[in-house]
Amino acid sequence: MGNERRERGVEEFRLSAAEGTRASRTLASTSAADASSPESLFRAHYRTLVQSLALISDGDRDAAADAVGDAFLELEKNWDKIRTYENPAVWIRRVALNRLSNQRRSLARRARALLRLQFQGDETPQGVRATDLALKDELGRLPLKQRTAVVLFYFADLSVAEVAEAMSITEGSVNQHLHRAREALRKRLEVDQ
């Protein structure tokens, strides 16, 4: 019974790997002439890209589909520029791979942040917890972009450049959001004390 299951798993892996290889060949053979519209590219490559990326992401078809979907959204937004590329399908694959990598990094950062928060909660004295709760309440009152910048920079321990990349804004905008958030928090927390 166990051997049958193992053999079936190996065969499924071989089939998936073969599909991924065919997908790569299909993408490599697509030319600009085959790419008459984003829709034609989608019809021709969506399924094979999702299958390929699912293999890369340890079988996570949802993550693969999200990454490929994001790549096609970018294609649609930038079609006027991308239609001039020699092989737009290769561009889609690169963007999808980048999105998949970004998803993995984001999940890893979230996990590290949650672990830090869990350990901080266990070691924090009772008097400091009230301050933490006040800070949490005030963070909730900040505008979304300021709150996001503060949490990513101070709690997730990202650099300004990494926060800018995660928020899809410039480093100057991140600095501006951090400055405004600090000023607002300083005023609100001083009034309460």
Q: What's the average pLDDT block by block, 10 residues per block, for the chain (193 residues)?
A: 50 49 46 71 93 83 92 95 92 92 80 67 51 72 84 82 84 94 85 49
DSSP annotation of 58: T
pLDDT of residue 31: 45
- The owner of tokens 């933490």 is 132
For the 124-192 domain, the top CATH level (class) is: mainly alpha
**Which CA distances in Å does 23 have to 29, 85, 110?**
10, 20, 32
Cβ atoms of 67 and 96 closer than 8 Å = yes
pTM beyond cutoff 0.75:
no
Question: What is Dmax (Cα atoms) for the chain?
Answer: 70
Name the residue ranges covered by the structural domains of the chain: 2-105, 124-192
